Amino acid sequence: MERDDLIVNDSYALNSHHSEEEGAKIRKNIWKVTGILTLLTTVEVLMGIYFKRSETFTWTMIKWSFIILTLVKAAYIVLVFMHLGDERNNLKKVIIAPYMLFIGYLIFIAISEGFGHLGNFNTLH
Amino acid sequence: MGGEATKSIAKDVLWGGGRSPFSVSYGKMMMWYFLVSDALTFGGLLTAYGFVRASSTDAWPIGEQVFRALPGLDGEYPLIYVALMTFILIVSSVTMVLAVEAGHRNDKSGVIRWLGLTIIGGFFFLGSQAWEWSHFIHGSGGSFLLAENVTVTADDGEVFNLSKGDPVFMDHHFGHLAEPWIEGEPNVSLMESDHGIKLVEVGEHSHESELHALTLNKYVENESFVSGDEAMKLWNARSGTFAFGANMHDNEYAIQQAYANFFFFITGFHGFHVFSGVVINIIIFIMVIQGVFERRKHYEMVEKIGLYWHFVDLVWVFVFTFFYLV
């Protein structure tokens, strides 16, 4: 049995080789994603410059749209550029699920403890 | 194990059916595991930043007020420089994914071209970050804290009731001379001028700067300019506490030192990742030129360092949002 990273056959979900025609298709997709990432970043920067911060509902919406646009960008980077979208389903879950679990918990704890002085969570005092 | 430099792998280290787990190589899976743990570190840092910022009672500096300079240009360009850095990193991520694609076709010259461009992009980003750090450390004018309560009228007519300990910001030219003056530099002295006061430097770099205007709320929402006699009122109420730029002990941007410390730690830790990424890319670049992967008949090593490089880009996307935008 050879070293597993030296195996060149179809047992890998992400087959190590592709033809010139497949390559052209993949490159087209890469440039498409590049366009999307550039566009999203430009939108974020323009929003950041244009909208003034305030205690209003509008600014809250802007903040959430920054976060959503960032998650969209992150998804494109991880699924297309890092090829996680082409990996097996169980690898995807093994990578993403523990991360979401830990970070979700951390953010929950930070929010419930960090904003305590604002009044909504200090019933324990 | 599969990652070690042996040509064969013992059958009993493979999982159940005699295949690699998840149908990826050992090295690639370990790179993913490493990235998950590294992402937890960055996630922890950014969450800590959000926690400290949210539980802070003083105003927190905002990105478009602090980061609005461009190298070699006067004037204000909010977030443009950081956007440029983001764009550089995204482009270098694209060249990396093209290098991986060329590797899948065993196109050695393609890998060399795209990986080379990725390395250049990495150096551009590191250079940009060096300038950003230098600008942040030097600051733009500095600030002083008030020693007593003052009421002043801003140029736009708004009246401010300032309390003891509130910060007031100097402009770039005045602050440039105020720093050596505070430090007791004998060449710099404070003099009366036609409209108020000026700082004069004599000797080799002789020049002077008048106190034209002071700024309130410079790095938070709604900055206001105060000039003339009103500015003199602020100047006369100054305490001995000045801050110029930022270091590990004080900073001109915020009352909270945590702001500067988070800037240094988060962007510094990310910059260190970019630096090590560039070093790893260069090592693999040399191996590609030497034909190591051509003999191995696949370029999976380029894929693995590609994963790391994209991860660095991914982290920056989050740093950009949470440190600069939100």
Residues A26-44 have pLDDT tens digits of 899 999 999 999 999 999 9
Domain limits for position A44: 21-82
Residues B184-216 have pLDDT tens digits of 888 888 888 877 888 888 888 788 888 888 999
Residues B162-182 have pLDDT tens digits of 999 899 999 888 888 898 888
Residues A75 and A29 in one domain: yes
Domain limits for position B310: 20-139+257-325
Q: Which residues of B touch A111 (CB under 8 A)?
A: 54
- Asked, for residue A13, whether it belongs to a domain, the answer is no
What's the total number of domains in chain A? 2
Residue in A1, A53, A111 closest to B62 by CB: A53
Residues B37 and B61 in one domain: yes
> Helix %, strand %, coil % for chain A, to 5?
75, 0, 25
Q: How far apart are CA B256 and CA B32, in angstroms?
A: 37
Q: What pLDDT was estimated at residue B189?
A: 85
**Residue that finishes a domain, picked among B243, B269, B291:** B243
Q: How far apart are CA B97 and CA B260, in angstroms?
A: 34
Nearest CA in chain B to A33: B94
Burial annotation A64-97 (CB, 10 A radius, 16+ → b, else e): eebeebbeebbebbbebbbbbeebeeebbebbee
Residues B253/B166, Cβ–Cβ less than 8 Å: no
Residues A59 and A100 in one domain: no
Residues A27 and A78 in one domain: yes
Banded model confidence at residue A106, pLDDT cuts 50, 70, 90: very high
Q: Where are the beta strands (DSSP E) in B229-300?
A: 238-243
Residues A64 and A109 in one domain: no
Residues A92 and A66 in one domain: no
**ipTM greater than 0.85:** no
B8 near A CB under 8 A: yes
User: Both tokens of residue B16?
Assistant: 């159940």
Q: How far apart are CA A46 and CA A57, in angstroms?
A: 19
- Asked, for residue B43, whether it belongs to a domain, the answer is yes
- Asked, for residue A51, whether it belongs to a domain, the answer is yes
Residues A55 and A104 in one domain: no
Q: Which residues contact A74 (CB under 8 A, 6 or more apart)?
A: B314, B317, B318
Residues A108 and A57 in one domain: no
Residues B136/B324, Cβ–Cβ less than 8 Å: no
Q: How far apart are CA B279 and CA B300, in angstroms?
A: 18
Contact (CB<8Å) B10/A1: yes
Residues B131 and B150 in one domain: no
Contact (CB<8Å) B104/A6: no
- Asked, for residue A7, whether it belongs to a domain, the answer is no
Residues B314 and B265 in one domain: yes
Q: How far is A12 from chain B (nearest CA, A)?
A: 5
Q: What is the CATH number of the domain that holds B29?
A: 1.20.120.80
**Residue that finishes a domain, picked among B209, B243, B277:** B243
B127 near A CB under 8 A: no
Residues B239 and B92 in one domain: no
pTM, 2 dp: 0.86
Nearest CA in chain A to B318: A70
Please name the residues between 61 and 100 in chain B that touch chain A, using a CB distance below 8 Å.
Answer: 62-64, 78-80, 83, 86-87, 90-91, 93-94, 96-98, 100
Residues A53-85 have pLDDT tens digits of 777 888 889 989 999 999 999 999 999 999 888
Residues A65 and A107 in one domain: no
- What's the number of CA atoms in the CB half-sphere (13 Å) around residue B174? 20
**Residue that finishes a domain, picked among B182, B211, B243:** B243
Q: For chain A, what is the mean pLDDT?
A: 79
Residues A71 and A109 in one domain: no
Q: How far is B325 from chain A (nearest CA, A)?
A: 6
What's the total number of domains in chain B? 2
